[in-house]
């Protein structure tokens, strides 16, 4: 048996996480609702794999965000576009277990204008960098096993596939087999370096197209 010189982590304080292309602000329905509703209105497909459906009105969306902001044990963030200062998505830092040094990024809700952008990638990086900076040991990603885009995203972001929890949940009256992925603290220096290389302004041309893929950055950093 290996004994760890382990000290439980503090619960992460809710704070602004500043990036180059986006920033994560602790979710405030009063400040973020209008931008989020404008970005999400009419885009039901964004919610296909979430445990809820798109709220049918601004008021209903406000109630959902208020319930998130008041939920214990998570940190919900609004994702703010640094280009125009508008909130274009939201996500949770969740499944936070300070006694074991574990945290997860989940409930990722990106508007179409945010999907497949530098912001979308940087937000995942910012959550990971924050958790590991506090001494956490394990960064998790979980998704419905039928959600192929989410599984591809996890691997692109440097998460390692760990296995399948069969009949793990019932979501929207359907069975969910859950695929598990993780990044460990010993892996993060190389994974984080790859993120930073990919996110660097010089990695993009004048049209915003990447010059080097994140997968290639992972290989160069020795993370893949």
Question: What is the distance between the alpha carbons of residues 142 and 157, in angstroms, rounded to a whole number?
Answer: 13
Within 10 angstroms of residue 151's Cβ, the number of other Cβ atoms is 18
The model carries a pTM of 0.96
* Local structure of residue 201 (DSSP, 8 states): G
Domain borders along the chain are 17-139
N-to-C CA span, the chain:
29
Second CATH level (architecture) for the domain 17-139: 3-Layer(aba) Sandwich (3.40)
77: nearest Cα among 118, 48, 105, 44: 105
Beta pairing partners, 179: 143, 164
Q: pLDDT tens string for the chain (224 positions)?
A: 567 888 999 999 999 999 999 999 999 999 999 999 999 999 999 999 999 999 999 999 999 999 999 999 999 999 999 999 999 999 999 999 999 999 999 999 999 999 999 999 999 999 999 999 999 999 999 999 999 999 999 999 999 999 999 999 999 999 999 999 999 999 999 999 999 999 999 999 999 999 999 999 999 999 97
């Amino acid at each position: 048996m290996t004994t760890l010189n382990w000290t439980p982590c503090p619960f992460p304080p809710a704070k602004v996480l500043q990036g180059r292309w986006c920033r994560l602000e602790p979710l405030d329905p009063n400040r973020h609702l209008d931008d989020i509703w404008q970005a999400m209105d009419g885009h039901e497909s964004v919610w296909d794999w979430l445990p809820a459906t798109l709220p049918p009105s601004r008021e209903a969306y406000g109630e959902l965000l208020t319930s998130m902001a008041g939920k214990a044990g998570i940190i919900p963030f609004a994702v703010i576009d640094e280009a125009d200062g508008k909130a274009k998505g939201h996500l949770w830092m969740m499944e936070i277990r300070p006694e074991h040094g574990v945290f997860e990024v989940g409930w990722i809700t990106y508007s179409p204008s945010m999907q497949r952008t530098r912001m979308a990638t940087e937000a995942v990086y910012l959550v990971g960098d924050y958790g590991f900076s506090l001494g956490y040991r394990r960064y998790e990603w979980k998704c419905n096993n039928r959600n192929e885009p989410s599984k591809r995203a996890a691997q692109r972001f440097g998460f390692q596939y760990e296995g399948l929890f069969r009949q793990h949940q019932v979501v929207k009256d359907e069975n969910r087999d859950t695929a598990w992925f993780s990044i460990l603290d010993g892996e993060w220096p190389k994974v984080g370096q790859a993120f930073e290389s990919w996110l660097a302004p010089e990695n993009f041309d004048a049209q915003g197209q990447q010059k080097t893929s994140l997968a290639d950055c992972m290989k160069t950093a020795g993370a893949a």
